[in-house]
A and B are shown apart, each in its own frame.
Chain A
């Protein structure tokens, strides 16, 4: 059982370039989300999805797009990378239930924008 898989693990972009961070989970979880982690700021929610075809904005959505065409995949797109998007990005998934449940995190993608 792979859990939550993120690719790539490391990426360097030039300002203005675009790229997609991939996230896949094999636990049939309805909920998926993207966080960014910056020093001294914890993890901040970028976008989340409660199921295929449904996405919504989190705390810091500007500069990022997401889509959820399948239950398994939740890619994060940077349309025009900026140095302020240098961060470690984590994807998480959790199952839907009557109450909140544990979120499982991927290993992270370290992105540097120069």
Chain B
């Protein structure tokens, strides 16, 4: 089955700096790669996603890149703000029924 690895597990940045979280996956059949943000006591919420036919996607301060050959994808957050502090999960999904395989999460702290 799919195996998703995520690094780093914790990340602290100064407000206004950029944050980068990296994930790798193992199953070449995976073709959908969402990123979720989880705030304390809440369920994960989608912040951005990318499909395997796209190399990069951007939404305001958030961007995701995908390298299919190397089987890795990354989340980039620019101009970080304190409200960006949360746990971020990457996931990979093969096109076989919307099953998601999650990374182990990155706890991001933005220091004011």
Contact = CB atoms under 8 A, between A and B. Distances in A.
Nearest to A59: B1
B102 A44 contact: yes
A41 B103 CA distance: 8
A49 B106 CA distance: 28
Interface stretch (B39-47, B67-75, B78-86): B39-47
Give the most central of A48, A56, A102: most B CB within 10 Å: A102
Nearest to A41: B104
Tell which of B42, B49, B51, B100 has the most Cβ of chain A within 10 Å.
B100
Contacts of B44: 43, 90, 105
Interface in B83-112: 89, 93, 95, 97-105
Contacts of B4: 42
A43 B102 contact: yes
Interface string B18-39: 0000000000000110101000
A35 B97 CA distance: 15
Nearest to B93: A100
Contact of B99 (A41, A42, A45, A90): A45
A68 B104 CA distance: 29
Contacts of A108: 41-43
B43 A90 contact: yes
A58 B45 contact: no
B32 A40 contact: no
B43 A100 contact: no
B100 A107 contact: no
Interface of B: 1, 4, 6, 9, 31-32, 34, 36, 41-46, 49, 51, 89, 93, 95, 97-105
